[in-house]
């Protein structure tokens, strides 16, 4: 089976280009092309759901809107080759081997783990979201989203999202999974290098549910609130739960997320402490720079409520002093934004320090111009 599901020999394993000299020549031409800066909103992308791909089919559909105009009419197979090469830039050979091992690891879990609440895996909006949130998403306008959101600090949005029953079911599912892990003595991967407790939801079958959450509910909001960091082109995710409290992680160090946009929802339970602290948005160059007073903000969690922020918004979690706190995290990523960022040098539209430096340059330029004008005026008066 070939990469797009057609009968016939599969492309060469190394780069998926096949053995045709014509295909190779065509690819050389395509490889010199660059993605568009802005999406072609009039273009209806093709579906890639029936193809055997290295990445989620939705990523290819999203990326297709950014293809150069002369590529939009090409066969789907050729477009996949071009887009795949772009995506593989972020996945070196060693990383690809790791991804394949992780895929095998995930498949083994899914084959052996029996879900407790199968309805969770389908994401029924009516039983998942609170009515106000669902109404805002259905309206799908900037006004509707701002109606349900609070912005207690620039770039940090909070809103109620999940019904209590959904939180209870998801907590029970996570506990059931952890019990299965303990009973089967199966060694699982934790969400990231900073959390020793919690679980990756995609690893035990919730990937499709989280895809729906991203595509149908997070991306529409991010499109309005975070357009400058690829909010409209979010096309992949890393979804997990983290746990804090006695005999679990107590706090979380200062960091940035590996995401363009992060959704953080408190699921429960009873706890005290554990506030999130935010300290300004930074690009790679300025990630360790200081914070200004207006960038300092602390947020206290409420079960069922979400915090939505840019992944580059520096933050951490204070100690959970009592009880047990569980949060759902969805790191939302945009392959398009990551490709475009390679050609950017100025991030002042979202990096606080870049903006500060830009304003300082403008201030110095204005001061220098004023001084020059004053000198000219003095020269004219003495002439």
- Domain presence at residue 85: no
How far is residue 244 from each of residues 249, 290, 298, 325, 330, measured CA to CA in Å? 5, 28, 17, 5, 17
> Does pLDDT of 8 surpass 70?
no
- Phi then psi for 280, rounded to 5 degrees? 95, 155
Read off the CATH number of the domain in which 337 is found: 2.60.120.620
Least-confidence region, from 36-50, 181-195, 248-262: 181-195
Q: Given this model, what pLDDT does residue 28 score?
A: 42
DSSP letter string over 269-332? -SEEE--EEEEEE--GGGTTS---GGGEEEE---TTEEEEEETTEEEEE--EEEEEEEEEEEEE
Cβ pair 332, 262 in contact under 8 A: yes
Per-residue pLDDT of 315-341, as tens digits, reads 999 999 999 999 999 999 998 898 888
CB 141 within 8 A of CB 292: no
Asked if residue 282 is part of any domain, the answer here is yes
Domain containing 211: what range?
118-342
Given a cut of 50, whether residue 281 has pLDDT beyond it is yes
Supply 135's token pair.
Answer: 């109404």
Q: Which of 44-58, 175-189, 292-306 has the highest mean pLDDT?
A: 292-306
User: Is residue 101 one of the residues assigned to a domain?
Assistant: no
Mean pLDDT, rounded, for 296-304 = 95
Nearest to 230 by CA among 151, 335, 344, 306: 335
Per-residue pLDDT at 36 = 85
Average pLDDT value over all residues in the chain: 85
Q: Collapse the DSSP code of 267 into the 3-class scheme (helix H, G, I; strand E, B; otherwise coil) and give the result.
A: strand
CA pseudo-torsion sign 273, 243, 261, 40: negative
CA distances from 18 to 80, 313, 320, 327 (A): 13, 43, 55, 45
| 18-23 average pLDDT score | 42
Percent of the chain with pLDDT over 70: 90
The answer, yes or no, to whether residue 7 has pLDDT greater than 50, is no
In a domain, 175, yes or no: yes
Q: What letter would DSSP give residue 122? A: G
CA distance 238 to 31: 29
Confidence at residue 15, expressed as pLDDT on a 0 to 100 scale: 36
Distance CA 339, CA 35 (A): 8
Question: How does pLDDT run across 116-170, given as a tens digit for each residue?
Answer: 999 999 999 999 999 999 999 999 999 999 999 999 999 999 999 999 999 999 9
Please indicate whether residue 239 or residue 250 has the higher confidence score (pLDDT). 239
Reduce the DSSP state of residue 239 to 3 states and report it. Answer: strand
> Do the domain assignments include residue 5?
no
pLDDT band, residue 41 (cuts 50/70/90):
confident
Structure confidence at residue 112 (pLDDT): 92
Residue 367 lies in a domain: no
Domains of the chain: total? 1
Quote the pLDDT of residue 10: 31
Q: Comparing 344 with 110, which gets the higher pLDDT?
A: 110
- Whether pTM > 0.85 for this model: the answer is no
Quick check: is 383 in a domain? no
CA 229 – CA 225 distance, rounded (Å): 10
Residue 124 lies in a domain: yes
pLDDT band at 2 (very low <50, low <70, confident <90, very high): very low
| Predicted local confidence at residue 140, as pLDDT | 94
């Amino acid at each position: 089976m070939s990469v797009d599901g057609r009968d016939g020999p599969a492309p060469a394993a190394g780069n998926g280009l096949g053995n045709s000299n014509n295909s190779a020549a065509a690819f050389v031409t395509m490889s010199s092309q660059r993605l568009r800066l802005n999406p072609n909103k009039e273009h209806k992308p093709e579906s890639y759901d029936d193809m055997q791909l290295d990445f989620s089919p939705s990523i290819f559909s999203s990326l297709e809107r950014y293809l150069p105009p002369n590529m939009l009419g090409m066969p789907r197979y050729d477009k996949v080759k071009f887009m795949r090469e772009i995506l593989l830039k972020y996945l070196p050979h060693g990383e690809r081997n790791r991804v394949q091992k992780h895929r095998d690891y995930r498949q083994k879990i899914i084959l052996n783990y029996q879900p407790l609440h199968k309805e969770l895996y389908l994401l029924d909006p009516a039983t998942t979201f609170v009515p106000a949130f669902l109404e805002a998403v259905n309206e799908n306008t900037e006004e509707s989203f701002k109606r349900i959101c609070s912005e207690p600090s620039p770039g940090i949005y909070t809103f109620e999202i999940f019904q209590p029953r959904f939180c209870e079911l998801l907590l029970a599912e996570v506990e059931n999974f952890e019990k299965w892990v303990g009973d089967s003595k199966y060694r699982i991967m934790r969400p990231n290098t900073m959390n020793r407790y919690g679980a990756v939801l995609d690893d035990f079958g919730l990937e499709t549910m989280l895809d729906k959450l991203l595509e149908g509910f997070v991306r529409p909001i991010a499109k309005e609130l975070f357009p400058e960091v690829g909010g409209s082109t979010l096309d992949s995710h890393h979804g997990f739960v983290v746990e804090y409290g006695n005999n679990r992680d107590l706090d979380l160090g200062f960091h940035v997320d590996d995401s363009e946009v992060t959704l953080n929802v408190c699921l429960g339970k009873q706890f005290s402490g554990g506030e999130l602290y935010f300290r300004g948005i930074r690009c790679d160059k300025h990630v360790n720079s200081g914070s200004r007073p207006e960038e300092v903000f602390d947020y206290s969690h409420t079960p069922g409520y979400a915090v939505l922020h840019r992944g580059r918004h520096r933050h951490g979690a204070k100690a959970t002093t009592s009880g047990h706190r569980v949060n759902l995290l969805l790191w939302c990523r945009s392959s398009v934004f990551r490709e475009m960022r390679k050609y950017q040098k100025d991030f002042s539209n979202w990096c606080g320090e870049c903006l500060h430096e830009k304003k300082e340059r403008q201030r110095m330029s204005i001061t220098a111009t004023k001084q020059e004008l004053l000198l000219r005026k003095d020269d004219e008066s003495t002439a």
